[in-house]
A and B are shown apart, each in its own frame.
Chain A
Amino acid sequence: MSCIQTIADYGLRSIGIGERLLPRSDFTMCQQFTLIGSGMIWNLYFGILALLAGFFLATTLAVAKNSDRAIFRKPAEWFIFLFRGSPLFIQFFLAYEAFAMLPRAGFPILGITVATDWITRAWAGALIVLFFNTSAYAAEIFYGALRSVPKGDMEAADAYGMTGWTKFRRVTWPTMLRLGWPSYTNEAIFLFHATTLVFFSGFPAFRQEGDALYYAKYFADKTFNPFIPYPIAAFYFILLTLCVIAVFGVINRRLNRHLPQESRERFRFRPQIIR
Chain B
Amino acid sequence: MFESCSDPSALHGLGWLLCYLTTGKQIMFYGSFGIVLILLAVTAPVALIFGFGGALAARSSAAPLRFLGRGYIAMVRGVPDIIFFLFVPIAMDQGLEYLKSRAVCPDPGPAWTGNEFHVCASAKIPLGTAPQFYHEAYGFALAVVAFSIVYGAFAANVLFGAMQAVPRAQLETAEAYGMTRAQVNRRVLIPQMWAYAIPGLSNLWMILIKATPLLFLLGIEDIVYWARELGATKSSIYAYPHPDWRLYYFLVLLVFYLVMTKLSEIVLARINRRLAFGQATAAGEALRKADA
Contact = CB atoms under 8 A, between A and B. Distances in A.
A216 interface: yes
Contacts of A230: 83, 86-87
Interface residues of B, number: 47
A90 interface: yes
A90 B86 contact: no
Interface in B183-224: 200, 203-204, 206-207, 209-214, 216-217, 224
Nearest to B249: A97
A213 B257 contact: no
B29 to A, nearest CB: 15
B86 A213 contact: yes
19 contacts: A86-B210, A86-B261, A87-B209, A87-B257, A89-B214, A93-B227, A93-B228, A94-B250, A94-B251, A97-B246, A194-B80, A196-B83, A200-B82, A224-B117, A226-B91, A230-B87, A234-B79, A271-B207, A274-B211
B247 interface: yes
B287 interface: no
Nearest to B91: A226
A271 B74 CA distance: 12
A215 B281 CA distance: 48
Interface in B255-281: 257-258, 261-262
Interface of B: 76-83, 86-87, 90-91, 94, 112, 115-117, 154, 157, 200, 203-204, 206-207, 209-214, 216-217, 224, 227-228, 231, 244, 246-247, 250-251, 253-254, 257-258, 261-262
A90 B256 CA distance: 11
A271 B154 contact: yes
Given A97-B246, A224-B116, A193 B80 contact: yes
Contacts of B91: 226-227
A238 B247 contact: no
A237 B257 contact: no
8 closest A-B pairs by beta carbon, nearest first, are: A193-B80, A238-B78, A241-B78, A272-B203, A97-B247, A224-B117, A230-B87, A85-B261
A82 B86 contact: no
B272 to A, nearest CB: 14
A238 B157 CA distance: 18
Contact of B157 (A84, A196, A222, A269): A269
A90 B253 contact: yes
Given A226-B90, A238-B79, A86 B258 contact: yes
A82 B207 contact: no
Contact of B224 (A90, A224, A226): A90
Contact of A86 (B117, B203, B216, B254): B254
A85 B200 CA distance: 17
Contacts of A240: 78
Contact of A225 (B80, B117, B244): B117
Contacts of B217: 200
Interface in A184-226: 189, 192-194, 196-197, 200, 213, 216-217, 220, 222-226
Contacts of B117: 224-225
Contacts of A271: 76, 154, 157, 203-204, 207
Nearest to A84: B261
A91 B210 CA distance: 11
